[in-house]
Chain A
Amino acid sequence: MMQFVITLPWAILLILFPLTGAIISFLWPTQSNKVGLVTVSFVLISVTFLAFSIIEHGVYHHAIGGWGSPLGIDLYADGLSLLMLLMTALVGLGVSVYATGYFSAEQSPRFWPLWLFVIAALNALFLSADIFNYYVTLELIGLAAVSLTAFGKSREAYSAAMRYLLATLLGSLLYLLGVVLLYHGFGSVDIATLSERCESTPILWAALTLISAGLLLKTALFPLHFWLPSAHASAPAPVSAILSALIVKSSFYIFLRLWLTIFGPLSEGAVENMFGLLGAIAVLWGSFQALRQTRLKLLIAYSTVAQIGYLFLAFSLAMSGAVVAWNAVVYLAFTHALAKSAMFLVSGNILYFGGHDRIMNLDRIAQHLPITTTAFALAGVSIIGLPPSGGFIGKWFLLEAALVQEQWGFVAILLIGSLLTAAYIFKVVSHAFTQSSLPHDSRPIPAHMEWAALLLAFAAILLGFFSSSILSVVGIGYPFELNGVKP
Chain B
Amino acid sequence: MLFMYALTGVGLFFIGLYTLIIHVNLLRKILALNIMGCGVFLVLISLAMRSGYSSPDPVPHAMVITGIVVTVSATALALVLMLKVLEMTGKAELYDEEEV
Contacts and interface: CB of A to CB of B under 8 A. Distances in A.
Interface string B53-96: 00000011001001100100110011001101100110000111
Contact of A162 (B20, B50, B63, B78): B78
Contact of A158 (B13, B40, B59, B88): B88
Nearest to B29: A166
B40 A176 contact: yes
B44 A159 contact: no
Nearest to B48: A184
A183 interface: yes
B88 A143 contact: no
Given A136-B66, A162-B94, A173-B40, A155 B85 contact: yes
Contact of B13 (A155, A156, A177): A177
A165 interface: yes
Interface string A177-216: 1001001100101000000000000000000000000000
Interface residues of B, number: 34
Contacts, number: 83
Given A146-B77, A165-B81, A173-B33, A180 B44 contact: yes
A154 B88 CA distance: 8
A163 B26 CA distance: 10
Contacts of A156: 95, 97
A176 B33 contact: no
A139 B70 CA distance: 7
A142 B81 CA distance: 14
B88 A155 contact: yes
B97 A230 contact: yes
Interface of A: 70, 132, 136, 139, 142-143, 146-147, 150, 154-156, 158-159, 161-163, 165-166, 169-170, 172-173, 176-177, 180, 183-184, 187, 189, 230
Given A166-B29, A170-B33, A180-B43, 15 more contacts: A70-B59, A139-B70, A155-B85, A159-B85, A159-B96, A161-B81, A162-B81, A163-B94, A169-B33, A169-B78, A173-B33, A173-B40, A180-B40, A180-B60, A187-B50
